[in-house]
Structure formats: structure tokens, C-alpha cells
Chain A
Amino acid sequence: MSGDDRDERAARVESVLRAASRIADVNDPLGMEARRRLPGTSGLSPEGVALALAHHLETGASADGLDTLIDACPPAPRCHVVLAANVCTAAVRASACAVASAAEVFVRPSRRDPVVAELLARALADDDAFTGRLWLNDVVEPESGEVLHVYGRDETIAAYRDQLPEDVSLWAHGTGLGVAVVEESVGLDSAATAFAQDLVPFDGRGCLSPRLVVVHGEMRRAQAFAAAAHAALTREGDAIPRGPLEANDAAALVRYRDTMVTIGEAFEGDHHLLSFDPAPESLALGPALRCALVIPATEVPAPLRRLVTHIAAVGFGGEGPLAAELAALAPGARRSALGMMQRPPLDGPVDLRARL
């Protein structure tokens, strides 16, 4: 591959990041439009949207990160992207990966939440420096030798896989689970604050969002962490309320709350539900609505071992044997410090488990 070609691909990624910067900018018309429309499509509160755009939308990449991204996305004649009702900012990274592969990109936005994809396409169309083309398209018809990225649930991915010509490369971006580990070496209050900063963005609905917190040590330490995290989530929730709950969501939360009251403890706030299981026989995970389960452990518990292939992200609160064991069991998971789980560097797809 020539250096020029690589430079062109990097330049197209930079264009996507410039477009994203406009969406992140509260004073840019695109940024204003995003803040106006996303509360109605993303399920997030206006404050949650503002947080996502200001702190979790990728607007830059390090030189190393860009290199890694270019390496991760092999060139192709054209690239197609199917977006899901994913976290609302996901279109940016997905588009960056797509333009790194091909100058011509076709994006099928989520019907439920097309906002960022639409704004991105408009920003790129306005950018004279963008050497590629990015079209929004309802029809997904990749041809021989092209690449298709599908974001969504397993069933959606399988449906596309079944229809594809053999020589189309499918990159499947399925669902995943975030796990936080609180080692004995860290203070509970600081770990709780960092954890809350990981759970609040996107209301805990992302594949990087921590749905489970494993606290190294005895039951009382985990319980103390849960209480500290409840306080931290309450503070965060005052500033960043959870998005409005649909009837199904509210009912699912009530069911989960009563289940956890029965088997352990439920720490319910206006905008979160944290649960604690002192002696887990299984993982009583809650719905992805700013919910997380806290458990004590001195080694990776058996029920979690059965789910390791689903772990997309691990947030480490300190170093120790539990963290090391989990890292070894889930080598494909994205690793970060607790508090940084929702700010992965732009170095390719967010989910490192799947590769072409």
C-alpha cells in the first residue's frame, strides 16, 4: 500500500473528525440542531445529550490512534455501514472506520435515531477538503470485494450475513457488556465516583457501559462500595438526569428492584438503580437503564466466566489479582481505567472483539 493512499485515508478520517467537532460545538448550527433533535430520538435527557456530545463524541485522534485505525480498516473499493439504534454518537466512529477503508461510503442510519448520521453527512458534504463521498442510503447492496459493517443485535447481523454475496467482507459489531473491577488497592469513594462517570453516559446503554461491578474483597467492602456508588450516582443524576422511561422500562425496573430486594439489596435513586448481591449464585443483571449489579469476589466468579465472550469492556479500578484474572479471561475486551470506560481512544471500532 502506498504512503499516499494511507495519507488519503487518514485525511478522510480527519474530515469525519472535523464534522464531528461541528456537531459537538454548542455554537455551530449542526451542534444546535443535534441538541434540539437528539432528546427526541436517543432516549436521553437533554442533559444526557449534552454530555454525550461534549465529552463522548470523538472529535480527535492521536497519531498512534489514527495509525491503528488505518491498520484495522483494510482498504476496499466501497464500504457500507448499517447503524443500529446504538448509542447516539456511534455514527462518528463507524463513519471514521468506513472512510478509512473506502472513499465511497454508504450509510444506512438507524430509523429510530438517525440524527448524528444525518448531521455528519451534511457536514462532510459541506467540507471541501473531504475527498470521499458519504451517502445516506436505505438500501444496503454491497457488491463483490466490498466491505459491510453491521452494527446491531445478533439476529440483525445474522440476517445480513445470510444475504451477502460470498466475497463481501462482513464486519459484525454486536452487543456487549462492560464490567468494572474495584481492586483492594483503591479507595471506595474515588472508585465509586469514577464508576458513576462510566455508567451515566448514554444511561448505561452502551456496550462499554458497566453493568456489573466486581469488588475485590469481602461482602462488607462490596456493600460499602455500593452505598458509595449510590451516593455518586445520585449526585451525577442531579446534574444529568436519566432519559424518560417508557412504560416497559419502568415496569422492568420495578421487577428488577423487587428481585434484588428479595435476594440482596437495591439502591434506587431517581435516575439509577444499583443492586447488591452479597453471595451471588448467578449474575442478577438488570436492564440497561443506568442499572448495575455490585458483587464481592476474590476471583472471577463462575457465572461471569461463562459470559466472558460477551465482555466488550473492562474498567479497572486499581491493579490486582482479580483484574489480572479478568483481563486474561477476556483478552478481546477493551481495557481502561475506571472513569474512562466511555472515552476509548479513536483507534478503530469501539468493540475490539470483532475483526474482519
Chain B
Amino acid sequence: MRPAPAEISTALHARVRRFIDASMRGEPSEAFDDIARAIAAHQYRSVAPVRRLFDRGERGEGLGEVDRLEVDAIPAVPTDAFRHRRIAAHAPSEDERVFLTSGTTTGLEQRGRHAMRETRTYAAGALAWGRHMLFPDTEQLKVIALVASEEHAPESSLTFMVARFAEALGGDAGYFWDGERLDVEGLGDATSQLTKPALVAGTSFAFVHLLDALGSERRPLPEGSRVMQTGGFKGRTRSVQADELRCAIAELFALPEAMVVAEYGMTELSSQLYQPTLRHRVCGDVSSETTPTSPRGYRAPPWLRVRAVDPVTLAPVAQGEVGLARFVDLANVDSAIAIQTADRIREQEDRSIELLGRAPGATPRGCSLALEHLLTGASE
């Protein structure tokens, strides 16, 4: 008799965590593809929307083939689907957390939901890759968060991740964003009292807000401090180019630019990518894995596979060509392992991922309402 879905899920989570541990230790591990296929089969059985996508006849042809599917051929659930349906292998009563995409200023959109039966795997992956890319040199950092606390934003996956970072880095954390306002004064006090290095983590929008509020003032941080900035500006009133923002943040905190690390994540994923500048600087790591031959390149962890795919055929494009990001995320055990985004990327020679912004929607013609403008929820 086949085990119950919950038992299968629990076993898969354990396999993924073992894969994370082994890959970070550089030890032999189970093959990525084997775990991916097992997760895909679990989702085919237990996630009705995923099964519909698999079964439409063009690609997946039922469970028998799912078990033998090439990983690049696993049908990818578009991120938009998370806005319209619960994509989960379990009942809402089993949710440990439900992460939501951020809302836009219109307030009209349906926010995407990512239901988590077990956050332990999410936390394990986020911490392992955060430790590798963001704090490989220390286990003690004060966390200064320009995101809301878990108490105020339990639905934010970014907040969840930052809270896990804080726990792993000694537990000393301050939160200076309440979802609407930045506590500039409190943040100033916190930074001026620092005697040891800190990790400042926040959204790009929050950093712009801080820069606007402080004008020419500076908040120098102790040597060894670092910044993690993430996210775009969708639905916000002001946006800043990534290079300009990184430079301004570095200047604000008197840090080398390499210590300002951009992160890419989204609510529909359980894993994150980082630019490797900090690791390169503090570890002198010049391996092909982390050498920043392309400063804008992002690094994915071993349990996240990223492919640039043709926007129409969804087939992988050649390395160096621009395509839409398709992710296979082993940590998405109970939702959709393969995620199709509308974000344009280019896979570089060193295997890093260059982010090129969101693909435009249909060319606007005519006077029909551009609902994409109103209804598209922004992911983190």
C-alpha cells in the first residue's frame, strides 16, 4: 500500500535536507534529478492544479511518465497560478505557514499564496545558502532588519528568512519597518550603538526610503558589516537602478560595494540566489563557482536549478541567450517543484544568472483595460 501523502511529504523533506547538508559539505549526495522526479510524482498525486498541468496531454502523460520525466521537462507552474489557486499537497489545516506575495498600491490584486506544510526545509536551505553567500566568515552579526518582524508580517517569506538568519547569527535583531513606515530614528540609534559588525537586510524600496530620509547623512557601520538587499519596486512611487542603489547603500554605511549583496527570491520559491561579491571578497574564493566574472551574476544553491527558456516554446535557450527564468526548486516539496516566472534572465558562461527584469506583457493596443497593471501582485 502506498504511504499517505503526509508520510511521503515528510520523507521527501528529509531527503531534500540531506541533499542540502551533503552538497554544502561537499559530500556525495543523492542525485538532484532523482529527488526532483520523486517530488514531481508526489505533487502529481496530491496537488490537483499540478496534475492538471501535467495531464494536459502535450507534455506529461500521467504518473507512469512523471516518474521517468527529464527534470527539464517537468511542467512548470506559472507564478500567476499562485494568485488564483492554492497550490498545495496538503489541506489548509496542515499549513505551518502561508507566505503571501506583497501587495501593490492599487490593492486590487489577488495576492499569491504559497502554503507551507513544513518550514524546516525552507529554513535549512535559506540558512545554508545565506551562510555560504552572505555570512561565510562569521557566526555573530547583529541583524538590522528593514523588514517587518514575524509578529507583524507572519505572511512574509522574506521576514521568515531574516528571522532565521537572526537566530543563527546570535539572536540579536532589531526590526525597523512596520510594513508602511521606516523607523529612521530607531535605526539611527541602533547603528550608532554598534560595536560589532552587523547585517542590514531589507527590500530595495526600504533602502531607497532610508536614503531619501537621511539625505546626505551617513550611518557608518563597523568593519565587517554587510547588507542584503532584495526585491524591486513594483507598485511603488520611486525606483532606482540596481547599480546606483548598491553604490548609494555602500556610501551610506561606509562599506565596500562588495559587501552590499543583492538577493533574488520570490514567494513562490523556497530557495534564493545571491550575488557572489561578498563571498569573493571575504573568502578570496576564486573558484569557478563564485568568481564574479560577471558582477551582476547571481548564484543559485545546488538544490535550485535555473534555466532560461524561450518565452513561447518554453524550451531551454542556449547559454548566453535571454529567456524567462524557469526554476526547479527541491525545497518546494509540497507545492510545485517547477516554477515558470516572467522574469528575464541570461545564464552566463560562469553559470551565474543575470537578471534582466520582468518580461513585458502583451503590447498595449486599444482601450481595453490593462488589467495586468491593476491585478498583477508583486512578488518579493
Q: A225-256 interface mask toward B, CB cutoff 8 Å, 1 = contact, 0 = none? A: 00000000000000000000011111111111
Q: Is the CB of A307 within 8 A of B108?
A: yes
In the complex, what distance in Å separates the CA atom of A211 from the CA atom of B372? 13
Within 8 A of A (CB), among B178-222: none
Q: Is B26 an interface residue (CB 8 A)?
A: no
Contact of A289 among B56, B83, B362 (CB under 8 A): B362
Do A177 and B371 contact each other (CB < 8 Å), given the known contacts A254-B312, A287-B361? yes
Which chain B residues border A250 with CB–CB below 8 Å?
311-312
Which chain A residues border B311 with CB–CB below 8 Å?
247, 250-251, 254-255
Which chain A residues border B75 with CB–CB below 8 Å?
258
Q: Is the CB of B367 within 8 A of A87?
A: yes
Q: Is the CB of A176 within 8 A of B367?
A: yes
In the complex, what distance in Å separates the CA atom of A203 from the CA atom of B364? 12
Q: Is the CB of B368 within 8 A of A263?
A: no
Q: Is the CB of A43 within 8 A of B365?
A: yes
Which chain B residues border A175 with CB–CB below 8 Å?
367-370
Q: Is the CB of A287 within 8 A of B53?
A: no
Q: Is A202 an interface residue (CB 8 A)?
A: yes
Which chain B residues border A173 with CB–CB below 8 Å?
367
Q: Is the CB of A262 within 8 A of B368?
A: no
Q: Is the CB of B78 within 8 A of A281?
A: no
Q: Is the CB of A258 within 8 A of B359?
A: no
Q: Is B120 an interface residue (CB 8 A)?
A: no
Q: Is B241 an interface residue (CB 8 A)?
A: no
In the complex formed, the residue of A with least CB distance to B366 is A205
Do A90 and B367 contact each other (CB < 8 Å), given the known contacts A259-B81, A281-B110, A307-B108? yes
Do A287 and B369 contact each other (CB < 8 Å), given the known contacts A258-B340, A261-B52, A263-B85? no
Chain B interface extent, by class: 35 or more
Q: Is B3 an interface residue (CB 8 A)?
A: no
Chain B CB within 10 A, most for which of A177, A207, A287: A287
Within 8 A of A (CB), among B366-380: 366-372, 374-375
In the complex, what distance in Å separates the CA atom of A259 from the CA atom of B81? 5
CB distance from B352 to the nearest CB of A (A): 24
Q: B328-367 interface mask toward A, CB cutoff 8 Å, 1 = contact, 0 = none? A: 0000000000001010000000000000000111111111
CB distance from A314 to the nearest CB of B (A): 14
Q: Is the CB of B360 within 8 A of A177?
A: no
Q: Is the CB of A248 within 8 A of B360?
A: yes
Q: Is A204 an interface residue (CB 8 A)?
A: yes
Contact of B369 among A202, A248, A281, A310 (CB under 8 A): A310
Chain A interface extent, by class: 35 or more
CB distance from B344 to the nearest CB of A (A): 10
Which chain B residues border A307 with CB–CB below 8 Å?
108, 374
Q: Is B278 an interface residue (CB 8 A)?
A: no
Contact of A262 among B81, B312, B360, B363 (CB under 8 A): B81
In the complex, what distance in Å separates the CA atom of A251 from the CA atom of B110? 22
Q: Is A79 an interface residue (CB 8 A)?
A: no
Contact of B368 among A43, A204, A248, A280 (CB under 8 A): A204
In the complex formed, the residue of A with least CB distance to B372 is A287
Q: Is the CB of B361 within 8 A of A211?
A: no
Q: Is the CB of A246 within 8 A of B363?
A: yes
Q: Is the CB of B366 within 8 A of A86?
A: yes
In the complex formed, the residue of B with least CB distance to A210 is B368
Q: Is A169 an interface residue (CB 8 A)?
A: no
Contact of B312 among A209, A251, A263, A283 (CB under 8 A): A251
In the complex formed, the residue of A with least CB distance to B56 is A261
Which chain B residues border A204 with CB–CB below 8 Å?
368
CB distance from A81 to the nearest CB of B (A): 14
In the complex formed, the residue of A with least CB distance to B57 is A261
Contact of A211 among B77, B360, B365, B368 (CB under 8 A): B368
Do A177 and B369 contact each other (CB < 8 Å), given the known contacts A261-B52, A262-B77? yes
Q: A59-88 interface mask toward B, CB cutoff 8 Å, 1 = contact, 0 = none? A: 000000000000000000000000011110
Q: Is B285 an interface residue (CB 8 A)?
A: no
In the complex formed, the residue of B with least CB distance to A44 is B365
Within 8 A of B (CB), among A192-223: 202-207, 209, 211
In the complex, what distance in Å separates the CA atom of A173 from the CA atom of B81? 32
Q: Is the CB of B50 within 8 A of A262?
A: yes
Within 8 A of B (CB), among A262-297: 262-263, 277, 280-285, 287-289
In the complex, what distance in Å separates the CA atom of A280 from the CA atom of B16? 34
In the complex, what distance in Å separates the CA atom of A307 from the CA atom of B80? 19
In the complex, what distance in Å separates the CA atom of A306 from the CA atom of B110? 11
Q: Is the CB of A303 within 8 A of B110?
A: yes
In the complex, what distance in Å separates the CA atom of A43 from the CA atom of B362? 12
Q: Is A36 an interface residue (CB 8 A)?
A: no
Contact of B359 among A112, A177, A248, A283 (CB under 8 A): A248
In the complex, what distance in Å separates the CA atom of A303 from the CA atom of B259? 44
In the complex, what distance in Å separates the CA atom of A151 from the CA atom of B375? 22
In the complex, what distance in Å separates the CA atom of A251 from the CA atom of B363? 11
Q: Is A153 an interface residue (CB 8 A)?
A: yes
Contact of A254 among B77, B314, B365 (CB under 8 A): B314
Q: Is B125 an interface residue (CB 8 A)?
A: no
Which chain A residues border B56 with CB–CB below 8 Å?
261
Q: Is the CB of B367 within 8 A of A84?
A: yes
Q: Is the CB of B366 within 8 A of A85?
A: yes
Contact of B78 among A176, A247, A262, A282 (CB under 8 A): A262
In the complex, what distance in Å separates the CA atom of A10 from the CA atom of B223? 78
In the complex formed, the residue of B with least CB distance to A282 is B110
Q: Is the CB of A255 within 8 A of B366?
A: no
Q: Is the CB of A263 within 8 A of B81?
A: yes
Which chain A residues border B312 with CB–CB below 8 Å?
247, 250-251, 254
In the complex formed, the residue of B with least CB distance to A246 is B363
Q: Is B49 an interface residue (CB 8 A)?
A: yes
Do A85 and B370 contact each other (CB < 8 Å), given the known contacts A250-B311, A263-B84, A282-B83? no
Q: Is the CB of B370 within 8 A of A205?
A: no
CB distance from B78 to the nearest CB of A (A): 5
10 additional A-B pairs beyond A86-B366, A277-B84, beta carbons within 8 Å, are A42-B365, A151-B367, A175-B370, A249-B362, A250-B311, A259-B78, A262-B50, A284-B84, A307-B108, A351-B367
The 10 closest A-B pairs by CB, nearest first: A205-B366, A251-B311, A282-B110, A287-B362, A288-B368, A252-B362, A207-B367, A262-B81, A175-B369, A259-B80
Sample of 10 A–B contacts (CB below 8 Å):
A85-B366, A90-B367, A206-B367, A248-B359, A251-B311, A254-B314, A258-B75, A258-B76, A281-B85, A312-B369
